[in-house]
A and B are shown apart, each in its own frame.
Chain A
Amino acid sequence: MEENVITIWNLTKKFGNFTAVDNISFDVRKGEIFGFLGANGAGKTTAMRILCGLSRPTSGEGTVAGYDINTGQEKIKRHIGYMSQKFSLYPDLTVRENIRLFGGIYGLKDREIRVKTDAMLGMLGMQSEKDKFAGDLPLGWKQKLAFSIALIHGPEIIFLDEPTGGVDPETRRRFWEMIYDTAEKGVTVFVTTHYMDEAEYCDRVSVMVDGKIAAMDSPAGLKSGYHARNMDEVFRIIAGRAEREE
């Protein structure tokens, strides 16, 4: 049996009398690319915050990277990486300063940071850009850099929150190739997206509707299960049943 890196049982999160996440359970296997879909307001962000150790569930149990989501939040944070489109890098720091900063935040030693910086810049082909401000980089580069920085401390799981929003089509695909490379190295990828073609790139996909997981399977399984040609149709069928508003 394959090893699970995320295990969630009966997770619920309430805000007042509003149930944002309603009794969800699922597992994510090691090295898997797990797509976490849902309409706006379905509870994706809330669930993701709990998994990242940023918020406590109202009830329910689970482990992320082997640590309890109720008690091991600080340890979880040290063993995961996080990247979102909205915030990832400090635009007024240079590329090298950003790498240094995040290396420092995760407690890497100076020597390690130096080695990793060189390796990272070499891999991204950004040697000549190392002293440029992160804010001046083209969007595609920023994302690649942010992704690499999110991996700087060698996390077991990386959470990507709409990593490709607004990016041009080729950059988006190159970014997914980076995701594949990362997953091949055994890092688990947990990703949210609004692009339905990207849902096809995941090993498994879950679709949240009204705080619950309405469907979870491989893209092929979902398509045949819902008699749909592509994930876009699958999503419309499932999310079209939503009753709740944001």
Chain B
Amino acid sequence: MNAIEINGIVKSYGNVRAVDGISLSVGEGEIFGLIGPDGAGKTTLFRIMTTLMLPDSGSGTVCGLDIVKDFARVRRIIGYMPGKFSLYQDLSVRENLDYFATLFGTTVRENYENIREIYSQIEPFEDRRAGKLSGGMKQKLALCCALVHHPSVLFLDEPTTGVDAVSRSDFWNMLSRIKASGVTVFVSTPYMDEAAQCDRLALIRDGVIIGTGTPDEIVSDFPYRLLSVGGDRMYPLLKELRKTDGVISCFAFGDSHHVAYDPAVTGRERILASLADAGFRGCSAVETAPSVEDCFMWLSGSGDN
């Protein structure tokens, strides 16, 4: 049985289709990533799956329980961490945790083992008000509160948005440990570079899933060859590359440009030669494997202009 089943869910706000017929399944014990920019419909889908909203049409189950009919039972077995920090800022760390434990009919002591690894890091600040914690610690507390009743499925809506790179990688380490304890994790993020941390993922844009699979599967579906081109005058180089024959698309990727080309039309040497003709000498060009971000741009249908 899959931990999460989503079948053709549609949700509109007025004329806007926030979620437009999404179907997905998430296996038990997976870290499943829902990756897409702001406004793609991630939060709406999360709210529907956590029984906070009713879909206009379509259905879904969490651990075999229907999200509409069995909503009360679904609420018992899921842990949820909303997008923005949603704990009581005027209550202390311990009071927040105790309160959420009680809401789920349990105590912190009974479930201490579940959260020990994460909680031990904020335990020294037990009496501090949640509002006075640093961003990273707030996140840990929120995660503890979502885990304190030992849920089967954990829903994390953009847990790393606005968090710096170091705290972000800490957070992903925590997730893999949570997964190791048998919890299914359904997580959304706008950061493409976090895709590699997921077992499987779905790319979402404008309420539609544009690609799904393991990171490797998604990457292997990329239809073109990719060249990583570097040089001195990066911005003029980018403009020149876009004009080059056989180049499908060209975008900046850190210190180099990722150039997608059709191997039937051109190749590394021809591209370098045409750059040299245009006055860009001494450029480096290395064949490179596409990243999830390359795939996202191609799949969103705008990568080919």
Contact = CB atoms under 8 A, between A and B. Distances in A.
Contacts, number: 98
A139 interface: yes
A246 interface: yes
A196 B165 contact: yes
A239 interface: yes
A166 B37 contact: yes
Interface stretch (A24-32, A53-61, A107-115, A229-237): A229-237
A5 to B, nearest CB: 20
B166 A220 contact: no
Interface string A108-149: 000000000000000000000000000000110000000000
A176 B252 contact: yes
B60 interface: no
Interface string B160-193: 0111111101000000000000000000001111
Contacts of A71: none
A2 interface: no
Contacts of A176: 252
B165 A40 contact: no
Given A165-B161, A197-B253, A170 B134 contact: no
B134 A40 contact: yes
Nearest to A233: B165
Nearest to A171: B37
Chain A interface residue number, banded = 35 or more
B167 A169 contact: no
Interface of A: 38-41, 138-139, 162, 165-171, 173, 176-177, 180, 184, 194-197, 200-201, 219-220, 223, 230-232, 235-236, 239-240, 242, 245-246
Question: Closest 8 A-B residue pairs measured CB to CB?
Answer: A168-B37, A166-B38, A245-B134, A246-B134, A197-B254, A200-B254, A39-B164, A180-B235
8 contacts: A139-B39, A165-B38, A165-B161, A170-B303, A194-B162, A194-B165, A197-B254, A231-B254
Interface of B: 36-40, 133-137, 161-167, 169, 190-193, 205, 234-235, 238, 251-255, 293, 296-297, 300, 302-303
